[in-house]
Structure 1
């Protein structure tokens, strides 16, 4: 369980949607610190769990399958234990195979469609570990063969928000880090 300095809101003091998110997080990862801490702020929890997740991640113009792929690739690159458990379940839920899920995080080989490969390439550019990430002409061509500019912006927004949430989660110590996580606490 994450060892944050921020207060955790008890389940009985949470709004019903956050309670449901908390229970789902506990089932998948055994830890709901991030939800318990976000429950301290109605505005921040509404922005993240209702506005971002419900309207953009689970809504929007881009099929959820691509957003799940993007989300899992970013969490695997960033090394967030909580995110990986939740995102692996999300990827399986939208139809990725266990072999594909394994390949998203490492050196395993799996087949992906051209659109999926474009999303994986975008995730690599958006990753916090890629300080020089860019949408160059080749990546734009790869993405635009499968997605409209509006959909590319939506994918980029999803990746940007998730990357920022990863950074916040590491700084505030809201999540456990995988052993390979490149972001270690300062000594």
Structure 2
């Protein structure tokens, strides 16, 4: 079971294809909800990157920084995302979404404090708040899957617009 110093991990898609498909369906439904609510795709990538930073998920960081760049996100903002509170690079909406993402990711630390929720509810409508909660929830789940199975970063390439 060992590959050099690396222990090989379970291939979830192969061993539990129905559960993997259900996760894919959840992701697709969350993306559709965000599109329907008119949450900017670029903002969703910031949410995904920030949660992945907090969780230390190299695979998802590789994927979502590439997707963000493909959507036109700047290197400066991607590099500064880990310290978003200390920079002038993010809008009020982005800041609210990032604070919500952090609260959802670290839910045990404060159970999404009322001030964080009030901030996000002040700049997003209910459908958008719901979409952001789903986006943060889904990326947190994917982070745990990628980390637990040691998914290897580097090979992912974003789909090109036609």
TM-score, length-scaled by structure 2: 0.74
Match of 2:150 in 1: 174
The runs of at least 4 aligned residues of structure 1 exceeding 4 Å deviation read none
> 2:45 matched to 1:68?
yes
Contact 1:100 1:110 in 2 (8 A): no
- Which residues of 2 match residues 1-187 of structure 1 at below 5 A? 3-6=7-10, 8=11, 37-49=12-24, 51-57=25-31, 59-60=32-33, 61=37, 62-106=39-83, 109-128=87-106, 131-170=108-147, 172-175=148-151
TM-score, length-scaled by structure 1: 0.65
- Greater share of residues in helix: 2
How many corresponding residue pairs? 144
Q: CA RMSD in A?
A: 2.6
Contact 1:99 1:110 in 2 (8 A): no
Structure with the bigger RCO (C-alpha within 8 Å, sep 6+) is 2
SS of structure 1 residue aligned to 2:109: coil
Once the two structures are overlaid, the 10-residue window that deviates more, 147-156 or 116-125, is 147-156
